[in-house]
Structure 1
Amino acid sequence: MSEASDTKLQLSRMKDVLAKKIWDKAVVNEGPNAKLVGQLQEEVDTLRPRTTEGHGQDTCAVSLLPEEQVS
């Protein structure tokens, strides 16, 4: 084998070994504000159905103390 083909073979093997060690991890490119907005939007989406469960009526049962009640 010639020296050039031997070098090519070594480089090819080295390339294969290095390629197996490389792992790419995809990351969403968003800033801290965009991340916070996304989290808050998810929270709104989960809470919104709770407010309309009573078809526009208040779904919380609150009892007032006698001195707080309006006559």
Structure 2
Amino acid sequence: MSSDAHPARWRKSSYSNGDGGECIEVDDANPGRVRDSKDPHGPVLAFSPEALQAFVRAAAAGEFATL
């Protein structure tokens, strides 16, 4: 995201159970940005909001194999 982006407002997934599970945070101020909730100073991935919505829908529908 460019330096012109709004200051981040990170929100943890509502599916987080607080015990260090596999969760993401989304940036409510800059739609399409996500990061690993266990590594808040790590990399941020940026997608178009539409691409992120499509991924979330596919994951919720079980379209990805479990590792």
Normalized against structure 2, the TM-score is what? 0.25
The structure that has the greater radius of gyration is: 1
Q: Which has the higher strand share?
A: 2
TM-score by length of 1: 0.24
